[in-house]
Amino acid sequence: MGRPGASPVSAAGDGFIDVVPTWMAEWAISWFGTNDKLVLGIGIAVVLAAAGAAVGLLTVRDRRTGLVAAAVLVGVAAFVVWSRPNLAGADLIPILVGGAVAVPALAWLAGRVADLREAETMSTEGGAGGVGYAARPLSSERDGTARRVFLSGAAGAVLLAVGAGAFGRWIGGRRAGVEASRDELTVDVEFAPADVPDGADLGVAGAEPWRTPNDVFYRIDTAFSAPLVHPDDWRLRVHGMVDTEIELTFDELIGMGLVDRWVTLACVSNLVGGSLIGNALWTGVPIADVLALAGPSPDADAVLSTSDDGWTCGTPLEALTDGRDSLLAVGMNSEPLPVEHGFPVRMVVPGLYGYVSATKWVVDIEVSRFDRFQAYWSTRGWSERGPVKVASRIEVPTSGGDVSAGAVAVAGTAWAQHRGIEAVEVRVDGGAWASADLGEVPTDDTWRQWVFEWNAAPGEHTLDVRATTGDGEIQTEDVAPPAPDGATGLHSITVTAR
Ligand SMILES: Nc1nc2c(c(=O)[nH]1)N[C@H]1C(S)=C(S)[C@@H](COP(=O)(O)O)O[C@H]1N2
Ligand SMILES: [Mo]
């Protein structure tokens, strides 16, 4: 299963994400949110450009050392790509083609620089030799020619390198065989319309919609470029502590029967009041049905799932078999899963943070025990289990903004997936908690909208919100950071009524 975009930048990005310290990855996620990869990409491009410039300077000073350094740089890039868990041999092609062009180009350029130097030396000598004015125009002409040759050569080399990179990618794409373009990545499934249930969306202007459109749904993963997996090539292997090991094709999977379920997905890295959360109608096959085909051992307590690009995730077996709507999803809001959200198949488990449940591009399910493995984020200090913590946020009015004194609609969302939200309360200027009105919800597995009619007196005010779960837990005021198992604390805003 080939991946596109095996440019040195995306390859370095993938490798970098694997070796970067957890705190840095988390910092990037919390500061840049979904744009963390863009920032990483720019950073890597800058580093590569700097390394290239350094090698260039080195070559000018000492040709042999510089060329060896250039070859080493190409070798390192090839190694980073090669060490990726989802290596396709074709991924190496752009780097090798790029290297094959770049090193000779560098050697040639170094030769032109030497000419330039020589020309400069001659013009200086001309002056020093006292031959006077006659020598000047001649040598500066020579100087100018050498410079023109060098500059056009350098420009040519840059073009050549870019062209070689593009050619390498194209060849790599052909070689990878499937290398499906995104348009080809579709599935033969009729999806039910994702109509928002009556009363779920309170429609307050400025509040988040109850159903999150796919194109604005938050995205978190360690894949610098999303794996492109063709449904015809997709297989799901179910093995480990089971009676019978099984392997399913895409058609076999969807042939087991599709259901549609609203589930709100949340990231453990979400900050209080943050937006790493979204709600969608997922279409898929109950994971319990697939597990039942294999027959999990009574000694098993966990499932280790793995994505096409080698990311791993540990989920309590119970959360997949206790009757909740845990799915192997193929659809999102009446469409095939977008590539970024796990096409063609991903896991969705109500009530657990994404890092312990929501494996995108899932290809392998191993029934196991928590004492036998550590998954991707657990090895980086995050909690082995990640049940979603109850949370609530204020979406309107905007913090720091102005409102007109009088009736103000304060609104937002609260969530405690799989336990549900029973109440939301708002507190103005540290006073008594007052109940908000709640939107309808189809199940306990989604977030719930709320609205509070506030009679704002002129002046500056602080508003806090808290939620109570279906099983009676009141959201704590205690402040905790996202690591290791989810942030807590109350979302608070300040507004000025005029
Ligand atoms: N293959 C893969 N699946 C993954 C991840 C990942 O890094 N790789 N990240 C997980 C995390 S941390 C979250 S919060 C959810 C986010 O899903 P989304 O990007 O569709 O919103 O995907 C989960 N599934
Ligand atoms: Mo996450």
| Ligand number with the minimum distance to the CA of 486 | 2
Question: Would you say the CB of residue 448 lies under 6 angstroms from ligand 1?
Answer: no
22-36, 98-112, 439-453: least confidently modelled range? 22-36
Cβ within 8 Å of residue 46, ≥6 positions away: none
What is the number of the ligand 1 atom nearest to the C-alpha of 361?
A: 1
- The class that CATH gives domain 214-380 is alpha beta
> Is residue 75 over pLDDT 80?
no
Count of other CB atoms within 10 angstroms of residue 277: 23
Q: Among positive and negative, which fits the CA dihedral 19, 24, 28, 34?
A: positive
Question: Would you say the CB of residue 346 lies under 6 angstroms from ligand 1?
Answer: no
Count of other CB atoms within 10 angstroms of residue 313: 25
Average pLDDT, the chain: 85
**180-236 tens-digit pLDDT:** 567 778 888 999 999 999 999 999 999 999 999 999 999 999 988 899 999 999 999
One fold for 214-380 and 391-497: no
Question: Would you say the CB of residue 220 lies under 6 angstroms from ligand 1?
Answer: yes
* pLDDT range class, residue 71, cuts 50, 70, 90: confident
The residues facing 494 across adjacent strands are 462
Q: How far apart are the first and last CA of the chain?
A: 60
CA distance linking residue 298 with residue 220, whole number of Å: 33
Q: What is the pLDDT of residue 181?
A: 67
**What is the SS3 string spanning the chain?**
CCCCCCCHHHHHHHHHHHHCCHHHHHHHHHHHHHHHHHHHHHHHHHHHHHHHHHHHHHHHHCHHHHHHHHHHHHHHHHHHHHCCCCCCHHHHHHHHHHHHHHHHHHHHHHHHHHHHHHHHHHHHHHHHCCCHHHHHHHHHHHHHHHHHHHHHHHHHHHHHHHHHHHHHHHHHHHHCCCCCCHHHCCCCCCCCCCCCCCCCCCCCCCCCCCCCCHHHCCCCCCCCCCCCCCCCCCEEEEEECECCCEEEEHHHHHCCCCEEEEEEEECCCCCCCCCCEEEEEEEEEEHHHHHHHHCECCCCCEEEEEECCCCEEEEEHHHHHCCCCCEEEEEECCEECCHHHCCCCEEECCCECHHHCCCCCEEEEEEECHHHCCCCCHHHCCCCCCECCCEEEEEECCCCCEECCEEEEEEEEEECCCCCEEEEEEEECCCCEEECEECCCCCCCCCEEEEEEEEECCEEEEEEEEEEECCCCECCCCCECCCCCCCECCEEEEEEEC
Question: Would you say the CB of residue 210 lies under 6 angstroms from ligand 1?
Answer: no
CA distance linking residue 450 with residue 448, whole number of Å: 7
> Is residue 127 over pLDDT 90?
no
* pLDDT range class, residue 105, cuts 50, 70, 90: confident
Count of other CB atoms within 10 angstroms of residue 251: 12
Single-letter amino acid, residue 52:
G
Question: Would you say the CB of residue 374 lies under 6 angstroms from ligand 1?
Answer: no
Q: What is the pLDDT of residue 37?
A: 62
Q: What is the pLDDT of residue 22?
A: 61
Q: What is the mean pLDDT of residues 37-49?
A: 67
CA distance linking residue 150 with residue 316, whole number of Å: 63
| Ligand number with the minimum distance to the CA of 376 | 1
What is the number of the ligand 1 atom nearest to the C-alpha of 353?
A: 14
For ligand 1, atom 9, the nearest C-alpha belongs to 221
Going by the DSSP 8-state scheme, the letter that residue 190 receives in this structure is -
Nearest to 55 by CA among 43, 42, 73: 73
What is the number of the ligand 1 atom nearest to the C-alpha of 278?
A: 21
Q: What is the pLDDT of residue 456?
A: 98
Question: Would you say the CB of residue 305 lies under 6 angstroms from ligand 1?
Answer: no
Residue 247 burial by CB count (10 A; 0-12/13-18/19+): exposed, middle or buried? exposed
What are the helix (H) ranges across 129-189?
135-175
Question: Would you say the CB of residue 109 lies under 6 angstroms from ligand 1?
Answer: no
Q: Is 267 helix (H, G, I), strand (E, B) or coil?
A: coil
* pLDDT range class, residue 126, cuts 50, 70, 90: very low
Is residue 443 within 8 Å of 262, Cβ to Cβ? yes
Q: What is the mean pLDDT of residues 416-431?
A: 98
List the chain domain ranges.
4-184, 214-380, 391-497
* pLDDT range class, residue 137, cuts 50, 70, 90: very low
Q: Tell me, in angstroms, the distance from the centre of ligand 1 to residue 72's CA.
A: 34
| Ligand number with the minimum distance to the CA of 268 | 2
Q: What is the mean pLDDT of residues 387-411?
A: 98
> Is residue 80 over pLDDT 80?
no
CA distance linking residue 291 with residue 347, whole number of Å: 13
Instruction: Considering only residues 27 and 284, tell me which one the structure prediction assigns the higher pLDDT.
Output: 284
Q: What is the mean pLDDT of residues 401-421?
A: 98
**144-177 tens-digit pLDDT:** 777 777 777 777 777 777 676 666 666 555 444 4
Q: What is the pLDDT of residue 15?
A: 61
For ligand 1, atom 24, the nearest C-alpha belongs to 359
CA distance linking residue 69 with residue 99, whole number of Å: 12
Give the pairing of strands 437-438 and 448-456: antiparallel
* pLDDT range class, residue 39, cuts 50, 70, 90: low
DSSP H/E element including 438: strand 437-438
Cβ within 8 Å of residue 49, ≥6 positions away: none
Instruction: Considering only residues 277 and 53, tell me which one the structure prediction assigns the higher pLDDT.
Output: 277
User: What percentage of the chain has pLDDT greater than the value 70?
Assistant: 77
Q: Tell me, in angstroms, the distance from the centre of ligand 1 to residue 104's CA.
A: 42
Single-letter amino acid, residue 490:
L
> Is residue 446 over pLDDT 80?
yes
**230-250 tens-digit pLDDT:** 999 999 999 999 999 999 999
Cβ within 8 Å of residue 400, ≥6 positions away: 493, 494, 495
Question: Would you say the CB of residue 29 lies under 6 angstroms from ligand 1?
Answer: no
The answer, as to whether pTM is greater than 0.85, is no
* pLDDT range class, residue 111, cuts 50, 70, 90: confident
Instruction: Considering only residues 470 and 167, tell me which one the structure prediction assigns the higher pLDDT.
Output: 470
Single-letter amino acid, residue 303:
V
What is the number of the ligand 1 atom nearest to the C-alpha of 362?
A: 1
| Fold type of domain 391-497 | Immunoglobulin-like (2.60.40)
**456-468 tens-digit pLDDT:** 999 999 999 999 9
For ligand 1, atom 4, the nearest C-alpha belongs to 359
| Ligand number with the minimum distance to the CA of 485 | 2
What is the number of the ligand 1 atom nearest to the C-alpha of 347?
A: 24
Q: Tell me, in angstroms, the distance from the centre of ligand 2 to residue 377's CA.
A: 9
Q: What is the mean pLDDT of residues 57-66?
A: 81
> Is residue 475 over pLDDT 70?
yes
**345-373 tens-digit pLDDT:** 999 999 999 999 999 999 999 999 999 99
Single-letter amino acid, residue 386:
G
Q: What is the pLDDT of residue 434?
A: 98
What is the number of the ligand 1 atom nearest to the C-alpha of 307?
A: 1
Single-letter amino acid, residue 137:
P
Q: What is the pLDDT of residue 124?
A: 46
